[in-house]
Amino acid sequence: MNFELIHNDTKTNARAGLITTGHGTIETPIFMPVGTQGAVKAVHMTELKEDIKAQIILGNTYHLYLRPGLDILEKAGGLHRFNSWDKPILTDSGGFQVFSLSDNRRLHEEGAEFRSHIDGSRHLFTPEKVMDIERTIGADIMMAFDECCPGDADYDYAKKSLGLTERWLARCVKRFKETEPKYGYPQSLFPIVQGCVYPDLRTRAAENVASIGADGNAIGGLAVGEPTEKMYEMIEIVNEILPRDKPRYLMGVGTPANILEAIERGVDMFDCIMPTRNGRNGQLFTPHGTMNMRNKKWEYDFSPVDENGPSWVDRLYSKSYLHHLIKVNEILGLQIASIHNLAFYLWLVKEARKHIIAGDFSIWKTQMVNQLNNRI
């Protein structure tokens, strides 16, 4: 994998770059739609490519390991061939999913024991096993196995958790170097910076991650319950340490405003379930703010969903029709809202890139954040 910095903003830490992988190039900053189980919910691959303009999507190690299972994925030739996506894929290591199973998992030095949310069966994820699983899935970018520390954890717990994550990371790196890609194209491993909301722990974690010299680096354990301003503070601390010539990936974040604030602080890559999850609940993101399509105010509004929106669904369907579909829980409504939101997120980061290169990112970003916080 190669990362090329195209332009650095002179007034902020925002940057525009190019990531080159075995499945194509990615223009940064970039938003990555979440395809947890090998599919982005309610969206076809052709829509992802042609309408939404996605350049990379995510898969999840935990879910894909359980279903369809490694045997099927390997016989298919990896996730790219299994789901017919020929652009880059990143896989989360499953650490967050194991974290979310707090009542059904146990952490120890060897790894994380957990019960499947599907049938209650017992499993053990070790750093070595997770590397092997991600090799089999065939992601272009593999994430290291970590413990996602709760945002409200006390210092002692956060310090202990970080120690475990760092020891697991060393084992991930060792296993990654001992193994080879299975499908004829290169794979990269991204370490993850943890440390909760404690500056000294985040500094320690970032220094350790930077010393590894990986192809890229991730910032995890944010947007998990801590105040928003704390999240921004941690990003600033970490990005002062992480290498400037490698992409930086902020995991699981977030709202459109969160993304612009993080771009300003030097982040290059983002993912979040919010565009599709909120879309399925009737919330649309637009450059002028959010729209709740369940509200009665749209019942007789026959104007397009978003006349100047980036997606064809914005102009084909009316607000009244989408309100009706969402209200009756019609699947088409969930599809329209998901496509709209994903297209908007990809439009937003593309616009950010354009303004970084043009040299007016700071002015544009301030105006845009003010608009994004409106409720229409």
Residues forming the active site: 92, 271
Q: Please give the C-alpha separations between residue 293 and each of 5, 256, 308, in angstroms, as whole numbers.
A: 40, 18, 18
What is 256-307 written as a DSSP string? HHHHHHHHHTT--EEE-SHHHHHHHTTEEEETTEEEETTSGGGTT--SBS-T
Relative orientation angle of helices 361-372 and 331-358, to the nearest 10 degrees: 150
| Contact indicator for 241, 207 with CB cutoff of 8 Å | yes
| Contact indicator for 361, 262 with CB cutoff of 8 Å | no
The candidate with the shortest Cα–Cα distance to 235, out of 207, 208, 269, 265, is 265
For the record, the structure tokens of 277 come out as 């999850």
For the record, the structure tokens of 198 come out as 């404690």
Q: Please give the C-alpha separations between residue 355 and each of 30, 346, 348, in angstroms, as whole numbers.
A: 14, 14, 11
**Coil, helix or strand at residue 349:** helix
- What is the Cα–Cα distance from 55 to 78, expressed in whole angstroms? 18
Which stretch of DSSP H or E encloses residue 368? helix 361-372
- What is the Cα–Cα distance from 271 to 368, expressed in whole angstroms? 20
Long-range contact pairs involving 227-233 (C-beta distance under 8 Å, separation at least 24): 228/258, 230/197, 231/258, 232/261, 232/262, 232/265, 233/197, 233/199
